[in-house]
A and B are shown apart, each in its own frame.
Chain A
Amino acid sequence: MAFLLHQLLTESAERNPNGVAVDGGDSTLTHSQLDVLSNQIAHQLRADGVCNGDRVGVFLPKCARTVAALLGILKAGAAYVPVDPHSPSSRAAYVLGNCSVRALITSSPQLRKLAPDLAATSEIQSILLTDEPAVVPAIASLAKSGTVSFAQIAATQPATNPEVPLTENDLAYILYTSGSTGQPKGVMISHLNSLTFVNWAHAEYQITQTDRVSSHAPFHFDLSILDLFCTLKAGGTICLVPGDVATFPVRLAQWISEKGITVWYSVPSALIQLVEHGQLERHNYGHLRWVLFAGEVFPCKYLRRLVQQIPHAAYSNLYGPTETNVCTYYHVQSSDVAPERTEPVPIGKACANTEVFALDDQGRVVPPGHEGELYVRSSTVMKGYWGRPEATAATVLPNPLNRAYADVMYRTGDIVKLMPSGDYQYVGRRDKMVKSRGYRIELGEIETALYAHPAVKEAAVVAVPDERIGARLMAYVVPGMTGLTASELMKFCSERVLRYMVPERIELCDQLPKTSTGKIDKTTLENESKLYAERTAN
C-alpha cells in the first residue's frame, strides 16, 4: 500500500521491472532502472546533507533523467521544486531562493543560464548535474558540498532504497504559480494531497500496465502529476512529448499515432492546434482510449471537430486549480458536441473523496440553476503557499458549515453555475486572474514587472479573451522620461516574467484613461485592446 508518491515506483519496479517506465525518445528507462537511478540520486542528496522536509530544485528540460531526479528527491525525503527550463534566470533564481532549496539538479548548460542570478541564493549545498561537462561552470563553486554528475552517482551510490521515514503529510512538491502582488506563489502539495488525486484518476480512467500515457505538460505544471504518478502506479509507460514534436502540430499527430498513445492529457489549446493544423486524418489513433483535458475552457466547436476526427476515444474534462489538484470531472457525451451546441462542456461533479459546493455572496449554498463561487473540501487541498501565511489564510478557510472540529475548504475564485443535472458549469473568475494556454496569469505580476523599470510612470495590462489560447495580453505604459521604447520594455519584461506572460504589445501613451474615482479605466483599455486583437486576428 503506497502512502507516499515514490512508493508507487517501488511497487511498479517489483511488478513490472523490465517494462518501460519512461519513453523519452532518445532515452528510455525501465521501471527497474528508474527505481535504481532514483534510489542513487536519493542517496547522493542525503550524503550532501539534504534532510526531511528540505526543498530541492529541478532546472532541466524534460527527459527520462528529469523523471529520475523528481523521484530521487522524493525518496530523499525532500520536496521537489520544478522550475520552467525556459524561465528567465532572475525568475528561476527567485523561485529557488524563495523556498531556499538545499540542492539543485540541473545540467551544465542550464546552470550557465542561471549564473547571473544564482549567487543571491547561496543556501544551495550541492549541485547534481545530469551531464558530465569537460569544464564545470564556475558558478558551481557556490555549492558547499560541490558538484557531482549523474554518471558519478550511478557509479558510487547504492542501488537500494534509502527508506527515509516520512508520512503522507510531508511535502512532495512545490509548484509556483503567478501571484497577483507581483511575485510567484509556491503551492505546497503533500504526498496525501497528490495521492488522493492520483488514486482517483488511476481508478476512474482505469490506467493499466499496457497504457502509454502522454506527458505533454511541463513538470512545473500540475497536469504533469497525472502523467507521471498515475502511470507509475499502473506500471505503464510515460511517453514524454519531445519539444520539437510539441511545437509542430503535424509532427504531434504523427507522434501520437506512432507511439501508440492510449491516454492523452493536455490543455485544450494543444488539442486545438492539432485540430486546426495537425492534419489528423493522415494517421490512425486506434490505441487512443482517453483524451483528457484541463486547465482552460475547451470551446465547443473545436472539441466537436476533435471528437468527429477521433470518434472512438472517450473524452473527459478535468477541473481544479493547482491548489486542489483536480476536484471535478466530466465525461463528454455525444449530446455535448451536437452540431448546434456552442456552450462548452461542464466541469462536472466532484471526484472521489472530494466535496464541492458553490456559495453566494451571503455564504449560502446555491440551489440548482444559480451561480456562486466554487469551494472545495478534500484531502487534495494544498498545505498552503510557501512562506505566505496571509495568502494561504485568504483561500484556505475554516468550513463555516462544520464548526465541530478543524475542517478547511479552499476558495477557488471561480464562479460556477449549478446545473439541474448536478454538474457545475464554469462561468468565469471572481478576480483579475486570466489564463493563457492553461497557465494562470495574474495581470498584477506583469504590471509589477513593468513598474520595476525606472522609466515607467504608469502601467496597466489587460487581457483580451481569445478562444484558441484563452487570452492575449496588451500593456499600456506612460513613460516617466523620454527615450523609452516599447521593445526595450518588452525585453525588460521578458527578463522578469515567464514567456507566456510577456504582453504581445506594449503601447506607450501620454496618459492612461481614468475612472471618476481616479483609477486606471481598464474597461476602456480592454475595449481598445479588443479592437486591436480583431485587426490582428490570425
Chain B
Amino acid sequence: MPSEPQIDLSSIKTFIRTELIYDDEKDFDESTNLIERGIVDSMSLVRLISFLEENYNIQVQDEDIVPENFSSLNTIAGFLARHKPE
C-alpha cells in the first residue's frame, strides 16, 4: 500500500495465518474483507488487537474497534499509521 509504506503487513498476515486461522493456504490479500470471509470474528478480533497493541506499541480504544479500522489488512495498516507512537 503505497500511502502507508512504513507498516509491514507481513507480520500481521503471518499472525492471522498461524494464530487465528491456522491455515497458510487460505488465500486472502490486503483488501480481503476479513470479517465477511469469516477469517476474523469476535473471538479472534480480541487476540488480533492484543497482538497489535504488543507489537506496534499502541493502545486500541473501544471506539476504535470498528469495521472501518479492522475489516481488512489495508484498513489495519491505515489505523496503525494514524496511531503510531511519536
Q: Which A positions have Cβ atoms within 8 angstroms of B?
A: 85-86, 243-244, 246-251, 270, 273, 277-279, 437, 469, 487, 490-491, 493-495, 499-500, 502, 538
Contacts and interface: CB of A to CB of B under 8 A. Distances in A.
Given A86-B38, A244-B35, A499-B41, A250 B24 contact: no
A538 B50 contact: yes
Given A278-B62, A437-B43, A487-B22, A85 B38 contact: yes
Given A279-B62, A499-B41, A538-B46, A491 B67 contact: no
B38 A247 contact: no
Nearest to B46: A538
A491 B22 contact: yes
Nearest to A270: B42
B45 interface: yes
A244 B40 CA distance: 10
Contacts of A248: 42, 45, 65-67, 70
Contacts of A270: 42
A538 B43 CA distance: 12
A538 B45 CA distance: 12
Interface of B: 18, 21-24, 35-36, 38, 40-43, 45-46, 50, 62-63, 65-67, 70-71
Most interface-central of A86, A277, A278, A493 (chain B CB within 10 A): A277
Contacts of B65: 248-250, 277
Contact of B22 (A85, A278, A494): A494
B22 A502 contact: yes
Given A494-B22, A502-B22, A246 B63 contact: no
A494 B35 CA distance: 18
Given A248-B67, A491-B23, A494-B22, A469 B62 contact: no
A500 B20 CA distance: 11
Contacts of A502: 22
Nearest to B40: A247
* Interface residue SS majority, chain B: loop
A494 B71 contact: no
Nearest to B62: A277
B38 A487 contact: no
Nearest to A86: B38
Contacts of A490: 18, 22
A538 B53 CA distance: 11
Given A86-B41, A494-B21, 16 more contacts: A86-B38, A243-B35, A243-B36, A248-B42, A248-B65, A248-B70, A249-B42, A249-B65, A250-B66, A279-B63, A487-B18, A490-B18, A491-B24, A499-B41, A499-B43, A502-B22
A493 B63 contact: no
Contacts of A495: 23
A510 B21 CA distance: 26
Most interface-central of A86, A243, A437, A502 (chain B CB within 10 A): A243
Given A487-B22, A491-B22, A491-B24, A250 B63 contact: yes
Nearest to A88: B23
Contacts of A469: 43
Contacts of B66: 248, 250-251
B38 A244 contact: no
A246 B45 CA distance: 11
Most interface-central of B18, B21, B38 (chain A CB within 10 A): B38
A250 B35 CA distance: 15
Contacts of B62: 249-250, 277-279
A391 B27 CA distance: 40
A502 B21 CA distance: 9
Contacts of B41: 86, 243, 247, 499
A222 B67 CA distance: 28
A484 B41 CA distance: 28
Contacts of A278: 62
Most interface-central of A85, A86, A244 (chain B CB within 10 A): A244
Most interface-central of A85, A247, A273, A538 (chain B CB within 10 A): A247
A85 B36 CA distance: 11
B18 A247 contact: no
Given A273-B42, A277-B62, A493-B22, A244 B67 contact: yes
18 contacts: A85-B38, A86-B38, A244-B67, A247-B42, A247-B45, A248-B42, A249-B42, A250-B66, A251-B67, A270-B42, A273-B42, A277-B62, A437-B43, A469-B43, A487-B18, A491-B24, A495-B23, A499-B41
B71 A244 contact: yes
A83 B63 CA distance: 33
Nearest to B37: A86
Contacts of B70: 248
B5 to A, nearest CB: 28
A77 to B, nearest CB: 32
Contacts of B18: 487, 490
A502 B22 CA distance: 9
A500 B43 CA distance: 9
A63 B33 CA distance: 18
A85 B41 CA distance: 13
Nearest to A536: B50
Contacts of A500: 43
Contacts of A243: 35-36, 38, 41
Contacts of B67: 244, 247-248, 251
